[in-house]
Amino acid sequence: MKKKRYTGIVIGCGRIGATFDIDSGLLKPASHAAAFATNPRTTLAALVDSDPIQLKRAGEYYNVTTYADARECLKALMPDIVALATPPGTHEEMLTLALELHIPAIICEKPLSDTLESGERMVAQAALSDSVVVLNHQRRFLPLYKNAKERIAAGELGDIQQATAYYTNGLLNNATHTLDALQFLLDDTAVWTIGVQNEHNTAAPFGTNIDGLVGYKKGTVAVLQSFDTNSYGVHDLQILGTNGALIIRQQGFRFEWVPVREGVTFSGVKELDWMSAQTQTDPRSMMEGTIAHAVECLDGTVESQSTPEDGYRTMQILDALVRSAAEGGKRVII
């Protein structure tokens, strides 16, 4: 039986919405528009943006209908999926519109919103709707991350003691992925934070760069460190358990599973056995998994694995880190 082909539109024609595929070297598809256009189960039906120059550029590249007004576009086309790729402060308004028109699936860019109050309202609205809402924390849809979550849950690393995470390009930008990935992999909830301003790192598209500690309910403590993206980008994670370690490098495309062995360097002290490390690599588009997941949700084969609730919990950590840094590193309970 032939499977249904779903129509999709993108609201917001910035980089993640449409133009990453025009002028970046990222693995493609690198934007929502390109992911809709290349997925065999979806069709890119239209693009929306209030900036006429940006809209014209994207419309010509993808050769699709364009609209300056989101409501007009949604009412005219009634797509199966809408991707909200507008600034965080507009997400609530756009989600409200899509839910009002009963769009079956809604992909919302991260972070969920720009304030906790707004994010809380979005969670409540989505809970009352039959629409599927998928927050674009992309690593949740990558095979290596999904496999790692299962292996950690099965106890392969033992009890998780510590994690160290590195991010670039802003706490409210890339660190949203970092902190969400930790919650996803650890299947745990953050309960406190300590944050300090990174004074020498000023590269951030919106907001700030903060280093800090994040404590989780099961006892794990994560160290979060910001690095200057003007030097190079980094998105590395190191998770240490009583039975071994997981090292994630290369922007999340390289996983190293390192077991423990009896001490060789120091007698009587066990150590990580780097010579026996298992390495997995899987470079792929970050965007194609998001669209594919939305399709699976519409097919009814899965439920959203990146919900507004997940996004709100990540926002709570971000907010707590900002508040802690503003108070000179005071411990903040989430």
In a domain, 311, yes or no: no
Q: Which residue has the higher pLDDT, 236 or 1?
A: 236
Range of the domain at 74: 6-138+287-303
Q: What is the pLDDT of residue 125?
A: 98
Residue 182: the pLDDT is: 97
Q: If you average pLDDT over every residue of the chain, what do you get?
A: 96
The pLDDT score that the predictor gives to residue 126 is 98
Q: Is residue 310 part of a domain?
A: no
**Half-sphere CA count of 305, side-chain side, radius 13 A:** 25
Cβ-in-10-Å burial (0-12, 13-18, 19+) of 300 comes to exposed
Same domain, 204 and 320: yes
Asked if residue 1 belongs to a domain, the reply is no
**Cβ atoms < 10 Å from Cβ of 11:** 26
Task: Kindly state the greatest CA–CA separation across the chain.
Answer: 72
Q: Is the model's pLDDT at 256 over the cut of 90?
A: yes
The token pair at 240 is 């240490």
What is the separation of C-alpha 299 from the centre of its chain, rounded to a whole number of angstroms? 23
Residues 11 and 112 both lie in one domain: yes
Is 26 in the same domain as 61? yes
Q: Could you give the CA distance from residue 173 to residue 46 in angstroms, rounded to a whole number?
A: 26
- Same domain flag for 172 and 239: yes
Q: What angle do CA 220, 166, 203 make, to 5 degrees?
A: 135
Would you state the pLDDT for residue 267?
82
Each residue's pLDDT tens digit, 136-151: 999 999 999 999 999 9
As a whole number, mean pLDDT of residues 217-243 equals 95
Which band of pLDDT confidence, cut at 50, 70 and 90, is reported for residue 156?
very high
- Same domain as 97, residue 56: yes
Model pTM score: 0.95
**pLDDT reported for residue 92:** 99
| Residue at 58 is within a domain | yes
Alpha-carbon dihedral sign for residues 58, 64, 68, 70 = negative
Computed on alpha carbons and rounded to an integer, the radius of gyration of the chain in Å comes to 21
- Report angle CA 206, 92, 322 to the nearest 5 degrees: 35
Range 281-290 average pLDDT:
96
Assign residue 296 the CATH number of its domain: 3.40.50.720
User: What pLDDT score does 1 carry?
Assistant: 65
Output the CA angle 29-35-39, nearest 5 degrees: 110
Residues near 120 by Cβ (< 8 Å), separated by ≥ 6?
312
* Helices 116-127 + 91-100 axis angle, to 10: 10
User: In angstroms, what CA-CA distances link 16 with 75, 264, 287?
Assistant: 24, 48, 9
Q: Is residue 325 part of a domain?
A: yes
Q: Considering the domain boundaries, does residue 164 fall inside one?
A: yes
Q: How many domains does the chain have?
A: 2
Q: What residue type is 103 in one-letter code?
A: I
Domain assignment present for 309? no
* Residue 268 binned pLDDT confidence (cut-offs 50, 70, 90): confident
Rounded CA-CA distance 271/89 in Å is: 47
Instruction: Tell me: do 201 and 322 sit in the same domain.
Output: yes
User: What is the reported pLDDT for 333?
Assistant: 98
Our measurement of the distance from residue 30's CA atom to the centroid of its chain's CA atoms, rounded to an integer in Å, reads 14
Alpha-carbon distance of 255 to 265, in angstroms, equals: 25
Angle among Cα 147, 148, 152 to the nearest 5 degrees reads 125
On whether both 59 and 177 belong to a single domain, the answer is no
Instruction: Find the CATH number of the domain harbouring 206.
Output: 3.30.360.10
Same domain? For 96 and 174 the reply is: no
For residues 156 and 274, membership in a common domain is answered with yes
Q: Output the pLDDT for position 205.
A: 72
pLDDT over 70 (residue 103): yes
pLDDT of 204 higher than 90:
no
Closest by CA to 198, choosing from 175, 219, 221, 215, is 175
Is 121 inside a domain boundary? Answer: yes
Q: Do 121 and 160 fall into the same domain?
A: no
Tell me, yes or no, whether 117 and 155 share the same domain. no
Q: 132 with 151, same domain?
A: no
- For 56-96, what is each residue's pLDDT tens digit? 999 999 999 999 999 999 999 999 999 999 999 999 999 99
Residue range 161-185: mean pLDDT, rounded: 96
